[in-house]
Amino acid sequence: MTNEQNPPGGRPGGALPPEAPQPVRGPAPADAPKEISGRQRLLAGLWPPRVSRAQLIVALLLFVLGLGLAIQVRSNSDNSALRGARQEDLVRILDELDNRTQRLEDEKQRLDDQRTELENSSDQAEEARKQTLEKERQLGILAGTVAAHGPGITLTIDDPTGAVEADMLLDTVQELRAAGAEAIEVNGVRVVANTYFSGDGGDIGVDGRRIKAPYEFEVIGKPQDLEPALNIPGGVVQTLEKEQATAGVTRSEDIVVDALRPAKEPDYARSSTQ
Amino acid sequence: MIAVLGLVVGVVVGLLVRPEVPAVVEPYLPIAVVAALDAVFGGLRAMLDGIFVDKVFVVSFLSNVVVAALIVFLGDKLGVGAQLSTGVVVVLGIRIFSNAAAIRRHVFRA
């Protein structure tokens, strides 16, 4: 294409060469006129502005050029590089975006799964924790580390003569346990698995603590079972009464056993579960 | 002088008005601009040589733009648009440089 154009040489136009006023741009400031040189022509065209047909036409074309230049520069520096990108580039970019979207979707899916998993497992952990707490409470009642309340009986043994021995109280506790007592307290001392009774009549110790008559047993359990168990012929009550002691049993809907004992960490025994 | 004013006004208007270029024309605008620049440099050189003819300038300007756009269009159709427009830009660039050299010799005598 380039060959046919004639902007550079302007050869063909030979027609009216002297008509030279048309300036186009004026880069050069200097002036040193001696003969009719290009520089003079340039200055001559630049300064006294003359309105001629050629000037106007050239001005129009240059206006168009400036416009296109500005638009192009603008749209290039403008926002995206997508403007003016050609089709195959756009397709490639679109493909890349699709791939990226796909990857991100995958990642999102993966993270969602992970989150669900974590939520589930934390649910399970919560459930396990709850069960453990529940178990701890139950075991705490047995071990005497937590207070308990519920239906049961109160057994009061009065011993004015000091005839009640430690083994009688132990028998009483055994009888109560056999009848299903779940929590027992004697004169403010919690009775647990390793509780022991010591001493002689009128001077009895429970787990090393001295207690005095009357002996009051707070027992949580099924009253309908506990009371007959004490009252059976030859049972606790009869035995005590033989010794000049009096025993009274009162049922109650809400017995409170709030004497506590500290949990003891075993020195040697270790849990064998895992 | 008026021609220079035309160029300046064109640039200013293009920057201020921000006209929307139709999508059809868009791919050809950069090449067209380069082709027009080539024509302008050629015209400037012709003027310095004293052989400037406005009719020639107009025709060369327009045909430059049209042919450049045509080549890009054809290249796009043939699937070698990018290479072809690179080629056009190279050729036009060479011509601009040689014209600029001639102008420089006129203006600076060097």
- B-chain residues within 8 Å CB-CB of A70? 10-15
Nearest CA among A242, A250, A195, A188 for reference residue A215: A188
A156 part of a folded domain? yes
> Are the beta carbons of A66 and B11 separated by less than 8 Å?
yes
Task: Bin A31: left if φ > 0, else alpha if -120 < ψ < 50, else beta.
Answer: beta
pLDDT in tens, A235-249: 888 888 888 888 888
A47 touching B (Cβ < 8 Å): yes
Both A134 and A105 in one domain: the answer is yes
Specify the number of domains making up chain A: 3
Length of chain A as a residue count? 274
Helix/strand/coil (H/E/C) assignment for every residue in B74-102? HHHHHCCHHHHHHHHHHHHHHHHHHHHHH
Both A109 and A70 in one domain: the answer is no
Its domain, for residue B97, covers 24-108
A72 part of a folded domain? yes
Q: What is the mean pLDDT of residues A151-161?
A: 88
Q: Does position A96 have pLDDT exceeding 90, yes or no?
A: yes
Both A47 and A68 in one domain: the answer is yes
Both A155 and A250 in one domain: the answer is yes
Its domain, for residue A62, covers 35-84
Across A121-125, A152-156, A217-221, B45-49, least confident range: B45-49
Decide: A157 and A245 in contact? Cβ < 8 Å.
Answer: yes
Both A95 and A75 in one domain: the answer is no
Nearest CA among B62, B48, B12, B21 for reference residue A26: B48
ipTM of predicted assembly, 2 dp: 0.82
- Percent of chain A predicted with pLDDT > 70: 82
Query: B-contacting residues of A 83-142, CB under 8 Å?
Result: 83-84, 86-87
Decide: A153 and A219 in contact? Cβ < 8 Å.
Answer: yes
- What distance in Å separates residue A31's CA from the closest CA in chain B? 9
Counting as low any pLDDT under 50, the low residues of chain B are none
Q: What pTM, to 2 d.p., does this model score?
A: 0.44
Specify the number of domains making up chain B: 1
Q: At what angle do helices B54-78 and A53-77 cross, to 10 degrees?
A: 30
Query: A-contacting residues of B 48-107, CB under 8 Å?
Result: 48-64, 67-68, 71, 76, 81-82, 88, 91-92, 95, 98-99, 102-103, 106-107
Length of chain B as a residue count? 110
For residue A9, name the pLDDT band (cuts at 50, 70, 90): very low
- What distance in Å separates residue A95's CA from the closest CA in chain B? 19
Q: What is the mean pLDDT of residues A75-89?
A: 69
Both A89 and A78 in one domain: the answer is no
pLDDT of residue B5: 81
DSSP type of residue B20: P
Who wins on pLDDT, A96 or A238? Answer: A96
Q: Does position A30 have pLDDT exceeding 60, yes or no?
A: no
Q: At what angle do helices B2-17 and A53-77 cross, to 10 degrees?
A: 30
CATH code assigned at A194:
3.30.70.1880
Strands A189-191 and A209-211: unpaired
A104 part of a folded domain? yes
Both A234 and A168 in one domain: the answer is yes
